[in-house]
Structure 1
Amino acid sequence: MLLLPETLTLREARDTLRLLKVALEQEGDTDVIVDASALERFDSSALAVLLECRRLAQAWGKRFAMRSLPHQLAELARVYGITELLPAAETPAA
């Protein structure tokens, strides 16, 4: 599972993407789940980072999903028409 930082704005986007790419390359699972539960401050750059992670995961034959996407970021994705590109990870049955 890949973890997003507390802040992901244009200022942090390049470094965050670099770190996520390294983690993605080391991820052994065929499912890549990005956990956004720590994300508190963000702008549309966060969507760009997530879309690039998705693209990389798919290029390496992995499935991509999101966990705990903040409501405001999900709403921003809806406004941009990319909601389906950031699918929610399935919650394991209890």
Structure 2
Amino acid sequence: MAEANTMLSLDALTFQSARGALEQGCAAIAAGDTVFDLGGVKAADSSGVAVLLAWQRRARVAGRRLSFINVPQNVQKLAALYGVDGLIQ
């Protein structure tokens, strides 16, 4: 398994942080990272789930498979609520 991205330092995946998180993740994907550690995320909302999906799309376009580790339970619950949990596991 690839090593988790240590440069992805997010404490929130919310409406307020979504743009910066999206840019940070896209830069990491462009650099070749394929494993994102979400263990530091303490707050998330539906915008955060949208960011995860956007990262997945970006990785797929780049011909990579992106995976997430240490996904917080609140993010897992939101993804399940929206029916996209299979895309972030």
Pair in the same fold by TM > 0.5: yes
Deviations 1:13-53 (A, max 9, x none): 011111111111012x6xx1111000001111110100000
Corresponding residue number in structure 2 for 1:85 = 87
Shift of 1:64: 1.5
Structure 1 length normalisation: TM-score? 0.82
After the TM superposition, list the runs of 4 or more consecutive aligned residues in structure 1 that deviate by more than 3 angstroms: none
Distance in 2 (CA, whole Å) between partners of 1:54 and 1:8 is 15
Aligned residue pairs total 84
Letter in 2 for 1:58: R
Structure (1 or 2) with the larger CA radius of gyration: 1
Q: Is the CA contact (8 Å cut-off) linking 2:12 and 2:41 kept in structure 1?
A: yes
Q: Is the CA contact (8 Å cut-off) linking 1:4 and 1:34 kept in structure 2?
A: no
Corresponding residue number in structure 2 for 1:6 = 11
CA RMSD after TM alignment:
1.3
Q: Is the CA contact (8 Å cut-off) linking 2:36 and 2:69 kept in structure 1?
A: yes
Unaligned runs of 5+ in 1: 88-94
Corresponding residue number in structure 2 for 1:71 = 73
Distance in 2 (CA, whole Å) between partners of 1:19 and 1:71 is 22
Corresponding residue number in structure 1 for 2:37 = 35
Letter in 2 for 1:85: L
Distance in 2 (CA, whole Å) between partners of 1:82 and 1:16 is 19
Q: Is the CA contact (8 Å cut-off) linking 2:35 and 2:66 kept in structure 1?
A: yes
Distance in 1 (CA, whole Å) between partners of 2:45 and 2:86 is 19
Q: What is the DSSP-based 3-state SS (H/G/I as helix, E as strand, rest coil) of the residue aligned with 2:66?
A: strand
Q: What is the DSSP-based 3-state SS (H/G/I as helix, E as strand, rest coil) of the residue aligned with 1:55?
A: helix
